[in-house]
Amino acid sequence: MRELQKAAQTAQTTDSPDRIDFYFRKEWRVLALITVSGLIYNLGLLAGPWFEGRMTGCLIQILNGSSTAAQMLTLVCAYILSIAVVQGSRYIKRFYVRRFANNVNWRMKQIIYASLVRKSRNELQEEGAGTVMTKAILDVDDCVEGMRKFTTEVFDTGVALLAYAGMLLYYDWRLALLSIIFPPVSYFIAEKMKVQIQKAGAAYKEQAGALSTATLDRAVNALTYRVFGCEQERGQDYEQHLSAYEKAAVKANVWNTVMQPLYRVISMTSVLFIFYFGGKNVLGNGWRPWNVAVFTTFLSCFTKLAVKSSSAAKLFNAVHKAQVSWKRIQPFMKQNEKTYEKTEGTPGNLQVTDLGFAYPGGTKIFEHLDFSAKPGQILGITGPVACGKSTLGKTFLCEYPYEGSIRFAGQELSGLEEEKRVGMIGYLGHDPELFHDTIKNNISLGDEKDTRPYLNAVCLDEDLKTMEAGAETVIGNDGMRLSGGQAQRLALARTLYHKKPLLILDDPFSALDRNTEKEAFAHLRELTADSIVLLISHRLYLFSQMDRIIWMEGGKTFVGSHEELLKEVPEYARLYAAQEGGAEHDET
């Protein structure tokens, strides 16, 4: 049994998306085609120097009268045929290398997406939207490009180098050993340059993330900067980010490109030995007797080997650059590719006992909260500004550990799998998240159920009549084409459309007028007859209709009916009277 458990753990470790070999193993079929075509291509390259040498020798023989043009034509035709086979294999190899890269790119971005959608908004905001976008797009592309070049150069460089080296050793092993002294020097220099290349690459990625963040900031907050006359100041700040990005990009590009000519010069240095000692071979007083054809073949082979050597050194730079990107995205690659099935939770009772909460490293925001609720009940949560109302709502999402107990349908929320918890709890924050899509798609999220009853429930049906395409109207990023009240009602319609047994609604009516709020609240109660609703709000005139009320202030809580709070909590009574007085004043 222990051996089986150990084998399972080993398999799980090796089959993890946060390991590079995971992606190579997933694409083994494509890699097999690359291997076959790559071997044909690179071994076929040896035909080039061999034919070049034979044709040079044949040309000399034709000039001497010992050969004919027909023999040269035969060599030329065979040479052309070999080129056709080699280039055909090259095309097949490159096609499947690109397919390999595209597949890996798709797989990595899918995994990163699955990781990002499971992170809380706070985690993403702490990282910065620009940095997250850079990691999810640019870093993946750079990492995949490094993998692509590695896969390509295994054949274009590795196999070819071995083939050319074998051919050189065959013609004159002493001169071959002397000639291949310098190419490894370029590898050594490339390895020593790793630290500088990685530093420059990391600095470039950091500046790219900062520039993306600054760009998003200017786009999202453009109106605020314009109204308060900060455009020039923010423009200067953006120019600084742009300048820093350009400098980092130039430095990274220099380190990635300037070394290539140096690698090639170092690798080609051995040509001097070939001319000197190879010339002696041709003259008959060297290590091996050569003719001009052999000399031409040897020189051609070495030239191709030197070019491949410089490419191998350049590959080191690409791999080092990819390593920087991989280190940045690896924390996002720990999620597996499992997609949760959509689950429908069943109604149940809610029991909260001695609940307390504090963010990691912070002081307690509230403690010792006890209450219970049944399906069909709506509980109001209110209190002074910054008393922890929204934090209480988010506690039910279990993004951070809480003290005490939250049991729904007899099950502790913190002990449930995410898939089950998502099926139980619906959440609407006070800052609605809307997509650049139609009103209908923002509600349905791809489901087929009719959206019209929910548009009516949030009193948005009349607004649609004034829009050019009704429910098919595209609302822009974050619902920019909607008013604040329309965006809020649209987000509420989506929450009710995908109704869960426990709904957390954070200030869903704050941008609505009172008549619209009363009508929407009546529809809310009707549509959630089998759900429990926790409604967070600072507007109290509907709280007389709540089944229970939770008052929060200074970390303490009080739970009771509207009448009980009027008697026991003076601040609640004062706020309610002030808001009711305002309502009476408005009506007069």
- What element of type H or E holds 547? none
The letter for the amino acid at 254 is V
Structure tokens at 169: 């050793």
Q: Do domains 105-334 and 350-587 have the same CATH topology?
A: no
Q: Residue 315 corresponds to which tokens in the numbers above?
A: 């590959």
Residue 266 · residue 186 · CB < 8 Å:
yes
Provide the β-strand partners of residue 558.
551
Pairing of the two strands 411-412 and 556-560: unpaired
Residues 6+ apart with CB under 8 A from 151: 31, 34, 97, 100, 101
> What are the mean pLDDT values of the chain's consecutive 10-residue runs (588 residues total)?
40 66 87 83 73 79 82 85 85 87 88 75 65 76 84 70 79 81 68 69 80 77 76 82 85 70 70 80 83 81 75 67 80 63 82 93 91 96 91 90 94 88 89 86 90 91 86 84 87 92 91 86 93 93 93 93 94 90 43
Q: In what order do the strands lie in the sheet with 532-536?
A: 425-428, 502-506, 532-536, 378-382, 548-553, 556-560
Q: Which pLDDT value is given to residue 172?
A: 83
Neighbours of 23 (CB within 10 A): 20
The domain defined by 105-334 folds into ABC transporter transmembrane region fold (1.20.1560)
CA 279 to chain centre: 58
Distance between CA atoms of 474 and 468, rounded to whole angstroms?
10
Give phi and psi for 437, each to the nearest 5. -160, -175
- Other C-beta atoms within 10 Å of 296: how many? 19
Reading the block at residue 59, the tokens are 């040309």
Enter the tokens of residue 548: 């229970």
* Fold adopted by 350-587: Rossmann fold (3.40.50)
Residues contacting 198, CB < 8 A, separation 6+: 320, 321, 323, 324
Strand extents, DSSP E, 383-531: 403-408, 411-412, 425-428, 502-506
What is d(CA 349, CA 341) in angstroms, rounded to the nearest whole number? 24
Q: What is the pLDDT of residue 572?
A: 94
What are the boundaries of each domain within the chain?
105-334, 350-587
160: Cα within 13 Å, side-chain hemisphere: 28
DSSP 366-377: EEEEEEEE-TT-
Q: Which of 269, 212, 270, 261 is nearest to 241 (CA)?
A: 212
Say which DSSP state 345 is in: P
Quick one: pLDDT at residue 49? Answer: 72
Residue 587 CB neighbour total at 10 angstroms: 7
d(CA 404, CA 340): 28
End-to-end CA distance of the chain: 80
